[in-house]
Chains A and B, each alone.
Chain A
């Protein structure tokens, strides 16, 4: 069964450094998402991406965050200057061909900011 894959599984970074989290969505999906889960808290929406542009972003997704689909397969989340409070699990999800079909999630990247 096709799946969403994310790399790395764990990223440790010094505060202030840039990180790039990578995702390979399911190949025929058209809608892509990033979510965040801080330890012990609920999964929170960050951003949705469709047709090579952001379709919606949450208040969390400020100017430090950006997303990109650099080629036909990868979908990346960049945090430009990391803060301690960015420490969380970051999940990529995809769905398609319609946006209202169930989303499939990767196993996440655990981001630890020191």
Chain B
């Protein structure tokens, strides 16, 4: 079983739609959860960071964490063509190493059509 699973898509939605992106994980030691956005030939850009179960909102973006189900989500409201990118979930564990290394999902490619 992969540590972090993410549907690669592609996901195509019309402008203005609500987008739901998801990741599941198997390692219960994961305590910190991030969503990054990656445009073609660019580095991952941090969108959301959370370490507790529940919801965190920032503008059009909402990150949701359910540690009991080992499931995280990113919701994008009122999606725009400029949101077209690859969305990466990433997580890190509290363990003996405590280095903060990130384990990434495969990334979901999103296209928002005007």
Which residue numbers of A lie inside 8 Å of B, CB to CB?
A: 4, 6, 31, 33, 35, 41-45, 48, 50, 55-56, 58, 91, 93, 95, 99-108, 110
Contacts and interface: CB of A to CB of B under 8 A. Distances in A.
A111 B8 CA distance: 24
Given A100-B32, A100-B92, A102-B49, A43 B44 contact: yes
Classify the interface of chain A: helix, strand, loop or mixed.
strand
A42 B100 CA distance: 18
Interface in B36-52: 36, 41-46, 49, 51
Contact of B98 (A4, A6, A45, A99): A99
9 contacts: A33-B101, A33-B102, A43-B104, A44-B104, A58-B101, A100-B92, A100-B98, A101-B49, A103-B100
B97 A55 contact: yes
Contact of A91 (B44, B51, B92): B44
B43 to A, nearest CB: 4
Nearest to A98: B100
A98 to B, nearest CB: 8
B112 interface: no
Contact of B100 (A31, A43, A58, A104): A31
Contacts of A48: 99-101
The 9 lowest CB-CB distance pairs between A and B, nearest first, are A99-B100, A105-B43, A48-B99, A56-B99, A102-B49, A43-B104, A107-B43, A45-B101, A55-B99
